[in-house]
A and B are shown apart, each in its own frame.
Chain A
Amino acid sequence: MCLGVPGEIREIEGNEAVVDFWGVERRVRLDIVGSAVDEGDYILNHVGYAIRKIPESEVEETMELFETMLDADPADMLTDDVMDELEANAGAPTPATSGGDEQDEEDLLDELGIDV
């Protein structure tokens, strides 16, 4: 249950931290995080409280667990760097700004699956 949002600690002041969530910063209490945290650590926030420190290594561990579930060759899947792909595509969810020629038109309709 309940919205848990991961974020990175930017700054710690006593029992409070400034945490970056997806590029948005917000103050978070550290009373019940349950482990020592530092700037640069990742935490899971719920209703303004950090409820868990997320060690980076365990993100990998989860991914590896998923890979083992798949029939595909785990080695292939692991070398497949998802973020590289995403970054390569970033900024290009929509067609390029320039243009307006026939080629672009066909591309757009093709992408949308419209057959005229």
Chain B
Amino acid sequence: MSERNPPIDGPTGSISGSEGDDELRFRDPEKADALADRLAEIGDELDDPPATVMHVCGSHEQSIAKFGLRSLLPDTVNLVMGPGCPVCVTNMPEVDEAVALAEKGVTIATYGDMLKVSGTAKSLDDVRSEGADVRVVYGTQDAVELAEDLDGEVVFFATGFETTAAPTAAVIRDDPPENFSVLSAHKYIPPAMEIVAEMPDTEIDGYLAAGNAAIITGHGIFDGLVDRHGLPVVVGGFEPLDILAGLVKLVEHVRDGDQTVENAYPRCVTRDGNRVAKEQLWDVFEAVGGEWRGIAHIPNANLQLRDEYAEYDASKRFDVDASYLREQSGSRLLHDCICGDIMAGAADPTDCRLFGEACTPADPVGACMVSSEGTCKIWHEYGGRPDL
């Protein structure tokens, strides 16, 4: 081993490739401090603090957690997790379908995030332990290659928002092997933002919108939301400075009562988005209504394969009946979950009768407990917001 003498660097060290260098610029601690100071100044100028702003993006959440950004936020800014983690909002019956297919002997390929998400009775990881063939894939293409390598049926249990659905669409249009099909749990985020904004007693003053989703659809998609609900929307990237800068802009707009869309991620997001990706996305998928875990039934927010691509639709290819799983669990817990109200700031986790009892991080019911930064998960782990 001693001949292998790796160059060592802390995360602030040199990483080859100048784009890597550029991304490091967006992790500069001094600028982060300066932006946090600016945020505190604007917070002090608010008429009615705190400003409650919602991020709707799993990667925002990961970045906020990884870099400890919450410890920089002033008391005047209340940053809440919205329905932004597509895995967390995947409903139990959707997981059940994949579990039922796996139990029938079909090979399930899915992203790692999906493995531990519980259905009504069990997760894909549970059935994998019981001997079912469940594979983790890193990329969409990996699922296709798996089908090429295997003789049996391979179902790609596809999850993610429009950003992730576009690659799934590309794969389906690229003439995949006959034994390949897709069980779509893909979601479409803009309607969910509408629903949370419409919730009674909502406390949300503005949205930090997901940069990567907007890369595909363009930030023009949020114009209607702003018109209808009078809330500012700022599109933000994922590096620490991107997020802090997005919050500075957003809280400024809240302070000034602006009803506008602003793009704080211009290096990736444009007004119209990625035309090719959009075309492929909407050629393969259509938006239909569906239940988001613990939140609400949301119109036009689930992406399902269009009839033209029915041959690749696992829910049509296999006659999946997952009702036996619901009977096994004998549970109607989701009806009691108040995740949507908690997200909207209208309720606290302790207001939920499931919290800490039937709903725990090891065995979560709603999205707020599934997600590592979900409000319920954080309260469960730290008895409230961690004091750092």
Partners in one complex: yes
* B contact patch SS: helix
Q: Tell me how many residues of A have a C-beta within 8 Å of chain B.
A: 48
Q: Tell me how many residues of B have a C-beta within 8 Å of chain A.
A: 74
Is B141 in contact with chain A by the CB < 8 A criterion? yes
Q: Is the CB of A86 within 8 A of B24?
A: yes
Q: Is the CB of B16 within 8 A of A49?
A: no
Q: Mark contacts of A11-41 with chain B using CB atoms, 8 A cut-off: 1 yes-contact digit, 0 otherwise.
A: 0000000001111000001011110000000
Q: Is the CB of A58 within 8 A of B266?
A: yes
Q: Choose the segment among B123-131, B270-278, B328-336 that binds chain A (4+ C-beta atoms closer than 8 Å).
A: B270-278
State which of B25, B60, B84, B161 has its C-beta within 8 Å of the C-beta of A63.
B25
Q: Is the CB of B215 within 8 A of A1?
A: no
Q: Mark contacts of A80-116 with chain B using CB atoms, 8 A cut-off: 1 yes-contact digit, 0 otherwise.
A: 0011001101110110000000000000000000000
Q: Is the CB of A66 within 8 A of B139?
A: no
Residue of A nearest to B20 (CB): A22
What CA separation (Å) do A11 and B126 show in the bound complex?
A: 41
Q: Is the CB of A48 within 8 A of B141?
A: yes
* A contact patch SS: mixed
Q: B residues within 8 A CB of A6?
A: 19-20, 22-23
Q: Is the CB of B13 within 8 A of A90?
A: yes
Q: Is the CB of A7 within 8 A of B17?
A: yes
State which of A47, A62, A69, A93 has its C-beta within 8 Å of the C-beta of B266.
A62
Distance of B13 from chain A, by nearest CB (Å): 5
Residues of B at under 8 Å CB distance from A? Answer: 7-10, 12-26, 28, 31, 34-35, 37-38, 41, 56-60, 62, 84-86, 111, 138-142, 160-161, 163-164, 166-167, 169-170, 174, 189, 210-213, 215-216, 237-238, 241-242, 245, 248-249, 264-268, 274-277, 280
Residues of A at under 8 Å CB distance from B? Answer: 1-4, 6-8, 20-23, 29, 31-34, 42, 44, 46-49, 51-52, 54-56, 58-59, 61-63, 65-66, 69-72, 77, 82-83, 86-87, 89-91, 93-94
